[in-house]
Amino acid sequence: MSGELEAALLGELALSPGFVSGEKLARALRVSRATVSRLARRLVEEGYPVEAHPKLGYRLVASDDLSAAARYVGALKASLSFTLCYLESCSSTQEVAAALAEAGAGEGTVVVAEEQTAGRGRLGRSWVSPRGGLWFTVLLRPESLRLSHLLSLTAGVAVARSLRELFGVDAGLKWPNDVLVEGRKVAGILVEGSVEADRIRYALLGVGINVNNDLPPELRGSASSLKEFTGRPLPRVPLLLKVLKELDRAYSSLRSGAVESVLGEWRRLSVTLGKRVKVLSSDGVFEGVALDIDEWGGLLVESRDGGQRVFYAGDIVHLR
Ligand code: BTN
């Protein structure tokens, strides 16, 4: 049985507020009702809170209530053992996760908050994080510097795949890891770490997804919330579970040395490769065509005169 059908069932359930009959699901997925029931069982085995009712059909429970997500996160079948710490409000989930990491919290600790009062973005920017969005940090302890470098691309892949499969939106990746839908940013990723000599003590993988929140007017041109694309509020619990599952899968691949498969997924989801870009890096501005990413996730750009450069940090602007 393919994981694609399982993902499709999860997607159907995530978009339906109540029970959906087995018959309707079977029609939507073009499979038999027996297959729907088998797929639903598989989702339950993987830790998704799918409830089956003999008459009413199937539904995903506790759809938008993050305060109730801890038990589902704890039950996820994954290589990392995820533990959720839920907060109504905090300065930044990165800060809380750093304190937990310093106190010895284990890999897979996830801090989620309904709102952040001092959300952090990449390159020292702030990240607007009102209620309705999904703001969380995952504590990881990658064994190598390269792994920690690749975390941000990996997380981009996990988020884009989740949005595509769960909500059917056409999510793509702008280097290094902005998640865009129709050219507007719906999610961002921030990786911060604590390094000692040449050892990574821990990495904090922060994910911010504009789900049901409104954006301030000054951001509306370049950013958007998912609810605008789907026309209705979306459930954040299945999204959190799905992103954690996808992250776990990609992180396991990285750890087992299958870096190319993760890079390949990033390339397939990329909306940057092949485009003319302007790179704004610490040592100036560089224009050219984005050709590829290298094995550390750096962006290879070729200028008009044929000169090539690889960038490991910075911002880019898509020119066409
Ligand atoms: C970006 O600039 O694109 C990265 C944004 C990352 C935002 C998330 S929200 C959860 C975590 N806590 C923070 O303060 N930042 C990250």
Helix 22-29 / helix 3-14 crossing angle, nearest 10 deg: 130
Residue 270 identity (one-letter amino acid) = S
Q: What is the pLDDT of residues 47-75, one digit of tens each?
A: 899 999 999 999 987 678 999 999 999 99
CA–CA distance, 243 with 246 (Å, rounded to integer) = 5
The residues facing 203 across adjacent strands are 140, 193
pLDDT at 2 over 60: no
CB of 175 closer than 6 angstroms to any ligand 1 atom: no
What token pair was written down for 133? 């969005």
The angle formed by the CA atoms of residues 144, 268 and 281, to the nearest 5 degrees, is 60
3-state secondary structure string across 61-82: CCCCCHHHCHHHHHHCCCCCCC
Residues 224, 210: contact at Cβ < 8 Å? yes
Helix 33-46 / helix 3-14 crossing angle, nearest 10 deg: 90
> DSSP secondary structure string, 73-130?
HHH---SS--EEEEEEEES-HHHHHHHHHHTTPPTTEEEEEEEESS-B-GGG-B----
Residue 153: what pLDDT?
Answer: 94
Which tops the pLDDT comparison, 79 or 283?
A: 79
Residue 1: what pLDDT?
Answer: 41
Which tops the pLDDT comparison, 314 or 86?
A: 86
Distance 34 CA to ligand 1 centre (A): 42
Distance 28 CA to ligand 1 centre (A): 36
Distance 120 CA to ligand 1 centre (A): 5
Tell me what the pLDDT averaged over the chain comes to.
Answer: 94
Residue 282: what pLDDT?
Answer: 83
CB of 270 closer than 6 angstroms to any ligand 1 atom: no
CB of 121 closer than 6 angstroms to any ligand 1 atom: yes
Residue 267 identity (one-letter amino acid) = R
Pairing between strand 284-293 and 299-302? antiparallel
H or E element that contains 291 = strand 284-293
Residue 199 identity (one-letter amino acid) = R
Residue 246 identity (one-letter amino acid) = E
> Which residue puts its alpha carbon closest to atom 15 of ligand 1?
120
Indicate whether this model's pTM tops 0.85.
Answer: yes
Residue 308: what pLDDT?
Answer: 95
Q: What is the pLDDT of residues 157-216, one digit of tens each?
A: 999 999 999 999 999 999 998 999 999 999 999 999 988 877 889 999 999 999 999 999
Instruction: Residue 242: name the closest of 67, 50, 17 by CA.
Output: 50
CA–CA distance, 12 with 29 (Å, rounded to integer) = 9
Distance 30 CA to ligand 1 centre (A): 39
